[in-house]
Copies of this chain bind each other. A is one copy, B any other.
């Protein structure tokens, strides 16, 4: 087996776009799509293919604008309250309701208020009118042949109404681009097939991968105005991919192959695109998304997007989105931008344009951007992201606290109403996010898991509104209070109790190794999985080990660190470790056995100015809400008796 070449090229982003454009222009691969005429009721969001000129005036007749009598204005001259004028009902003195056509020969309306009925044929009016008073003349709103909606306009509900008013029941719009999405990979299995198999008791096997990229790409194509077709996954065989592309070309405007875009032995995407047309670019100096392919197949734009979901989404946004807009004759709108401060150092490779997803929250007036995992395979970074920070080529990255311009992925209002929690992870916080959402108060909880110490440091840097903490003071046996005093001496902090929770061993079902005490961790062949330094669980373990006089170096796996309770549980479930220290809920969730050892106090540390803020009002309310309390208790291993109690209010030390 020889060394493989992974990327055929390493083109700068701008250069890649220019090359792709040139190839499209040369091969005619991009042009406005043809049009179709559809009923107005189906035309919302579609784009006009031609200007719409009014076929009818609105109103299309002179209409009474008041209830009253239609008259010739000249016939009312001199009428006043003190000397009313008597008129005889007839062809030019006629009762009308608002909207009625003005009878021939009339040119004004005397309001009903100014008319007194004398008898069946005679009325008296106590006010004169001038020509066209209380009349909506023909064409007052729209004159036939007037421009109603220009070409290339995205139709809104009011446009549909105006087009109907101007005399049409249909409208001619640009056809939506049809996009074929072809997943490739022998290991891929559709979500539907996986669900069916699991329902039949046949779980998905190691090495099989759920094909979910096409679901994301199809949704994005829809958002960008296209009509996606998700094709079934094509196994890694050149002739099968060739057949799939040939078939897709027959009735689509754009081809998207995902993935096979690397240059490995089973990566046929580039060669198939070349067979049907040409490859303009293979490999762009961006991160993630390096091995993207841009080309033309059968005279149509063709893309090979990388297989990792974050790479697939980013390259679709960079290259597919502007193309779909152009096919529809639209200018792509830019995402709204904001200035934020990066909460931690971000190193970036010099040679690449890097796009880093971040979460955002406004803390003490500053918009704080916290980078999410930069792994191209981490789909949760896509769903948790609030914005994207672009680290340009030839930049080495950002230092902590640096100002950075970010592109917003959520409405600004949603970001402004985000409560930022940084600290120790707890399932009760996950639940809280859902309950806050349900209050309708419009609060969102964004929670980053960096351990209890990390949370206190985030409060110190003013990067968060609150921190979940469970830090044992090894001298006093008291939780959290002394740590807050020591690490946040200048802050006035409210410590609110969330729950008491059990800590214990997470072991395989039935506890096959019979682990009962900390001393059992030093037994030969027992593989432990630890939590990271700074986490409350780690502090608890180290304290208890010292109390028991056990040397950590005697524990196999003590150095293997995971960042959440669930990651520890997963390590035990998979057999990668035999035991970890964690909470009951994590064991319960993955069907492990839980051996309770200790109880610990999990509090929220909240600077008083945040605790008393409007932003956190719904959270204060939730901590005394029976429904939430019961939901936490139902997780197992939680004692919620003291939920919502103020444990302590730490005054800032005098300076």
Report whether B380 and A143 are in contact in the complex, using a CB–CB cutoff of 8 Å. Answer: no
Flag whether A460 is at the interface (Cβ < 8 A): no
**Cβ–Cβ contact A143 & B564, under 8 A:** yes
- Give complex CA distance A334, B560 in Å: 48
- Could you say which of B61, B107, B167, B378 contacts A198, with CB atoms under 8 Å apart? B167
26 residue pairs bridging A and B, Cβ less than 8 Å apart: A4-B112, A58-B379, A61-B207, A62-B206, A62-B574, A99-B207, A137-B567, A137-B574, A138-B574, A143-B589, A144-B590, A145-B589, A148-B383, A150-B437, A151-B434, A152-B437, A156-B383, A157-B216, A157-B219, A159-B383, A161-B382, A162-B379, A165-B379, A168-B191, A331-B440, A331-B442
18 extra interchain contacts, Cβ-Cβ under 8 A, other than A141-B380, A162-B380? A39-B192, A57-B570, A136-B377, A137-B570, A138-B574, A139-B566, A141-B378, A141-B379, A150-B433, A157-B216, A157-B218, A161-B219, A164-B191, A167-B198, A169-B191, A326-B440, A329-B438, A333-B413
**A binding-site residues for B, Cβ under 8 Å:** 1, 3-4, 39-41, 44, 51, 56-63, 67, 95, 97, 99-101, 107, 112-113, 115, 117, 131-132, 136-153, 156-162, 164-165, 167-170, 187, 190-192, 194-196, 198, 204, 206-207, 209-210, 212-213, 215-220, 222-223, 230, 264, 309, 313, 326, 329-331, 333-334, 336, 375, 377-380, 382-383, 411-414, 430-431, 433-434, 437-438, 440-442, 560, 564, 566-567, 569-571, 573-574, 576, 589-590
Known: A4-B112, A331-B441, A383-B162. A157 touches B215 (CB 8 A): yes
Residue on B with the closest CB to A96? B207
Also in contact, A151 and B215, with CB within 8 A (given A117-B1, A331-B442, A379-B161): no
Pairwise interchain contact B112-A157, C-beta atoms closer than 8 A = no
Residue of B nearest to A39 (CB): B192
A165 touches B212 (CB 8 A): yes
Given contacts A99-B209, A147-B434, A380-B141, contact A216 B161 (CB under 8 A): yes
Name the CB-closest residue of B to A262. Answer: B98
Chain B residues with Cβ below 8 Å from A313 are 158
A216 interface neighbour in B160, B333, B569, Cβ under 8 Å:
B160
Which residues of B lie under 8 Å from residue A573 when comparing CB positions? Answer: 138
B161–A215 contact, CB under 8 A? yes
Which residue of the partner chain B has the closest CB to A331?
A: B442
A258 to chain B minimum Cβ distance, whole angstroms, is 12
Q: Is the CB of B212 within 8 A of A433?
A: no
CB-CB under 8 A for A44 and B222, given A383-B159, A413-B333? yes
